[in-house]
Structure 1
Amino acid sequence: MAGMNLGYLAVRSAAAYPDYPAVICGDSVVTYRVFNERVNRAASALRRLGLAKGERVAILSPNRPELLEVLFATWKAGLAAVPMNFRLHRDEVRYILNHSEAKVLVHAGVYQDDLDRIAGDLAATRVTICLDDLAGKERGHPLTALDYRALLDSGDAEEWVEPVDGDDLAWIFYTSGTTGRPKGAMLTHRILLLMALNTCADIYPFGHDDIGLHAAPLSHGSGLYALPLIAKGGTNVILPSSRFDPETVFAAMERHRVTVLPFMAPTMVKRLIESEARTRYDLRSLRCIVYGGAPMYVEDLAAGLKAFGPVFAQVYGQGECPMTVTGLSRHEHDLNRPDRLASAGTARLGVQVRIQDAEGSALAPGSIGEIAVRGDLVMKGYWRDPEATSATIVNGWLRTGDVGYMDEHGYLYILDRTKDMIISGGNNIYPREVEEVLLCHPAIQEVCVFGVPDPEWGEAVKAVVALRPGHAATEAELISFCRNHLASYKKPRSVDFVEELPKNAYGKVLKRDLRARYWDGRTRRV
């Protein structure tokens, strides 16, 4: 079925607003004319590498302007993008590269050492493109290594957008899965175009006069929200540092007259609210803060509304249904309706949402069950994982793995997760990943990992371990052990020691009972 290539979003804005800033980073300003020309050069250079339509281009870098160029170049060339969290451990990077069968990796220079270590284990990747100047430095791997600047110089600025079907793959969004390994949600050109349109309709009406500041990773939510900004000819401001610092954000907001923060985790929002630096900057240009990725407590929202005014818009969703399943608009963030502030809003245009029981039957308003969604925003499936796809999309309904209820007006309230996913600071962490690493430690007999309440991060990773007889280990030692084998944000923030983990009659660890001790007395379990 014919569809529109996402690359046309850049073409349209370059024609309508050629001299308007598309991307700003520090003192660098790139207009839409120049942005589109650079995208064209990168796209033509990618085609000359001999990649077939639909093959994958992986991206590994902290936020920088080139990420948006590479995304649009990939689409214009008829290829699929595989953006990766820049904080992943090299073992996780290796897995995603091999699983996605990415032929090309575009990366920041800071990852060169890690790339040297895993290069011999890469099955499909044959070309690396470094975004930084590494001229004169020895390449420590056998892959064909190119410099991004040279790649652009070799490309052709002439406009060419590869025709695509609406169901052609555009983005593989890797998220944690039930096996403990990341799963790749397949997002098509049609899905992402509909997402951009619905974002403007439901969440925030992005316009040509909007200036968005990307403080969250472009490899995830913030990158998805760059699409409506570019589609409408708005400006994308990118912080030159990957470290989130409230005062740096405020300074950039004042300098560039930022109107919208396109996507932020509640942890980030809370830090902005609590920072005393906020009062030293002129933030009157701000119209909207889009937040999501984890629940936000009502008391924090109330403080935010007092600090910034009625600028908050909540999104609830997952990579399998970008960006949201439901949303709570700015005008619904009403201090006089704390019950609504506790909700995740109502269904987005383009999706149906329901609560269902374990057999997949719809439940009445007020009944607690699993949240399910269907519609054209739902992913095509999981990349190279038909079993996980069939277990997640049943009779056309995407099983989110979250538990909640809907009131009689269609407002969704999230209570818990059927899957044991931990969301800490907006990052998804699957306990089994951490457990498998800890079980490699010689002193550990058994372990159970889950999320516990944390006032800053929403949830923090807790490990409860039983040691082998005659062995010893400290909390600091085990946290350090995890840091050496996982992305730092996945490591436990605390470790409790027990003689034996509680189990049922069949020998299964009673994780829910362990977890309940730390959530006792709270209305929310996430």
Structure 2
Amino acid sequence: MKLAHALEVVKALGVLRQNGVSNPKAPVETLRTMRESQIYGPQATLVRHSARIAPDQVALVDERGELTYRELDDQSTAVARGLEAAGITPGTVIAVLARDHRGLLLSMIAAGKLGVRIALMNTGFAKPQFAEVCEREKVKAVLHDSEFLGLLDALPPELPRYLTWVDEGTELPAGAQTLDDLVAANSAEPLPAPPRPGGFIILTSGTTGLPKGAPRTKVSPLATAQIVDRLPFVQRGTMVIVSPIFHSTGLATWLVGTALSNKIVMRRRFDAEGTLKAISDNKANMLVAVPTMLHRMAELPADVRAKYDLSSLTGIVLAGSALSPELCVKATEVFGPVLYNLYGSTECAVATVAQPDELAIAPGTVGRPPITCEVRLYDEDDKQVSATNTTARIFIRSGAPFEGYTDGRHKQIIDGFMSSGDVGHFDEHGLLMVDGRDDDMIVSGGENVFPQEVENLLLERPDIFDVAVVGVDDVEFGKRLRAFVVPEPGQNPDAEEIKAYVKNNLARYKVPREVVFLDDLPRNPTGKLLRRVLVEYDVNA
């Protein structure tokens, strides 16, 4: 086993060379970057790296314009100096509550340069959630966009705060400081190296309660190999990232793009047509999105899509929530064979990636593990399951080990493999299919039902735009199924006909007893469905 893992490491280093992450022709720079990653963490290390090898390359494009890698490096140093002068020292935890723009990146890079731990907050937080997470993580300062000023009322007034973005027309509190103020007031001369890396706290999706904190102190080069192994990254290419960077997929792809000196285009709010325009205007070769965003782009009228030249696009990387077979087929028809479906979690990092040829064979599959990753299935008795088309719990071995939640809890581990919290099966091609969340399973009348199967069936209907199926309490059956349906614009589906459709295609016990029509489904910024909101939904209100 040890020999196999050692061979994996050698192969992973080869993957990094092949994809341009490490350059055998520049060994001094490669060694310097590896050494710095153990001091600054990935965000500051990779920006410093690209500022040395490609200082004038555009690093980011947001609504305020462009910044080169040299400018991003210099401005983040000035921000770090300003925070240091305010008493924010190595080991401190600071929170950033920001959408995707330069302020978020400057905050993360500055934290790395100071050895400060940065908690990436969810922009969908309600005030009580935000306050609870800040207290649990012992946050000592908050960097935030002006639109979230109201959330900060729940925090102690003496807690230092800095504005990462100011919306036009916003009336700021007296004495408010912005990152622009810190950049203007402080030197860009390099800081002394911190004693140790501060790292990140990435929050879980919080779909079942208060989000847990998953810390990452260091990121191994092997984690980078996992991401580039089966995804079409390009050296000095152009990426459009609309998946939130505060979450794992957006953050990981930004880090790899930065390592490859990419131009990275981001917007604070997702707009389907605006995203196509960003791809066209910047001749982007990669788009990073969540499936709900892809759905909205694929549903745009053909004449709207035709206005934009998307011929530069060689990869659409999807993660964050399930890619339904129906959307997989539809999006491939619209954009071509460029879909890559990434499966992983905040805790496990990358588990598998499905490439276009695999999605053609099995629409919706999450594919195969990349280098240094392995997936196994275990039953309820913790015995490994190897049979084809047999649903069991998914466990992952990754080169990016989980450090445990900040509240002291941990995921179940069997033989070095960590639970993903999902259930799934391997098909006859050896491709992994995710059947749903382990805790989403509904027992109705003694039968096990995974909502995703019913949802995927209903999404095939041309009159349904979005759907969720949940279990609600039932005196006779324990639980009964309730479907929440968002109709396609201009369509008026019938509830009884929907039930009959499920009955004609699936087992009787998988038929929803009720169908509720909504204008939209509750989802978090990464596209994950907030099932608990629907379970508690008052259908009589």
**Is residue 119 from structure 1 mapped to residue 155 from structure 2 by the alignment?**
yes
Is 1:350–1:377's contact at 8 Å kept on the other side of the alignment? no
Q: Which residue of 2 aligns with 1:17?
A: 54
- How far apart are the structure 1 equivalents of 2:50 and 2:200? 21
Secondary structure, in 3 states, of the residue corresponding to 2:230?
A: helix
Q: Which runs of 5+ in 2 are unaligned?
A: 1-34, 443-450, 485-497, 512-528, 530-541
- Within the candidate set 192, 216, 240, 1:213 is matched to 240
Secondary structure, in 3 states, of the residue corresponding to 1:373?
A: strand
Q: Which residue of 2 aligns with 1:152?
A: 183
Is 1:267–1:458's contact at 8 Å kept on the other side of the alignment? no
Q: Which residue of 1 aligns with 2:201?
A: 172
- How far apart are the structure 1 equivalents of 2:385 and 2:403? 26
Deviation at 1:288, TM superposition (A): 0.8
Secondary structure, in 3 states, of the residue corresponding to 1:237?
A: strand
Deviation at 1:38, TM superposition (A): 0.8
- 1:502 counterpart letter in structure 2: V
Cα 1:250–1:342 shift into 2, 3 Å? closer
Cα 1:56–1:392 shift into 2, 3 Å? farther
- How far apart are the structure 2 equivalents of 1:421 and 1:195? 31
Q: Which residue of 2 aligns with 1:316?
A: 343
- How far apart are the structure 1 equivalents of 2:334 and 2:277? 17
- Within the candidate set 307, 314, 317, 1:287 is matched to 314
Q: Which residue of 2 aligns with 1:139?
A: 173
Deviation at 1:49, TM superposition (A): 2.9
Secondary structure, in 3 states, of the residue corresponding to 1:419?
A: helix
Q: Which residue of 2 aligns with 1:344?
A: 366
Deviation at 1:111, TM superposition (A): 1.4
The C-alpha deviation readout for 1:434-481, integer Å capped at 9, x for no partner, is xxxxxxxxxxxxxxxx988374776547685xxxxxxxxxxxxxxxxx
Q: Which residue of 1 aligns with 2:121?
A: 84
- How far apart are the structure 1 equivalents of 2:279 and 2:135? 39
Q: Which residue of 2 aligns with 1:272?
A: 297
Is 1:9–1:231's contact at 8 Å kept on the other side of the alignment? yes
- How far apart are the structure 2 equivalents of 1:60 and 1:365? 45
Q: Which residue of 1 aligns with 2:492?
A: none
Q: Which residue of 1 aligns with 2:254?
A: 226
Deviation at 1:223, TM superposition (A): 2.7
Cα 1:93–1:253 shift into 2, 3 Å? same
Cα 1:463–1:420 shift into 2, 3 Å? closer
Greater fraction of residues in strand = 1
Deviation at 1:107, TM superposition (A): 0.4
Is 2:470–2:482's contact at 8 Å kept on the other side of the alignment? no
**Is residue 368 from structure 1 mapped to residue 402 from structure 2 by the alignment?**
no
Secondary structure, in 3 states, of the residue corresponding to 1:57?
A: strand
Q: TM-score scaled to structure 1, two decimals?
A: 0.75
- How far apart are the structure 2 equivalents of 1:136 and 1:293? 32
**Is residue 416 from structure 1 mapped to residue 453 from structure 2 by the alignment?**
no
Q: Which residue of 2 aligns with 1:496?
A: none
- Within the candidate set 315, 319, 331, 1:304 is matched to 331
The C-alpha deviation readout for 1:296-337, integer Å capped at 9, x for no partner, is 222322222222112111101111122x21111234333xx2
**Is residue 130 from structure 1 mapped to residue 163 from structure 2 by the alignment?**
yes
- 2:173 counterpart letter in structure 1: R
Q: Which residue of 2 aligns with 1:187?
A: 216
Q: Which residue of 2 aligns with 1:377?
A: 400
- How far apart are the structure 2 equivalents of 1:228 and 1:46? 26
Deviation at 1:400, TM superposition (A): 1.2
The alignment yields a C-alpha RMSD, in angstroms, of: 3.3
Is 1:10–1:231's contact at 8 Å kept on the other side of the alignment? yes
Q: TM-score scaled to structure 2, two decimals?
A: 0.73
Cα 1:115–1:342 shift into 2, 3 Å? closer
**Is residue 61 from structure 1 mapped to residue 98 from structure 2 by the alignment?**
yes
Cα 1:138–1:256 shift into 2, 3 Å? closer
Q: Which residue of 2 aligns with 1:493?
A: none
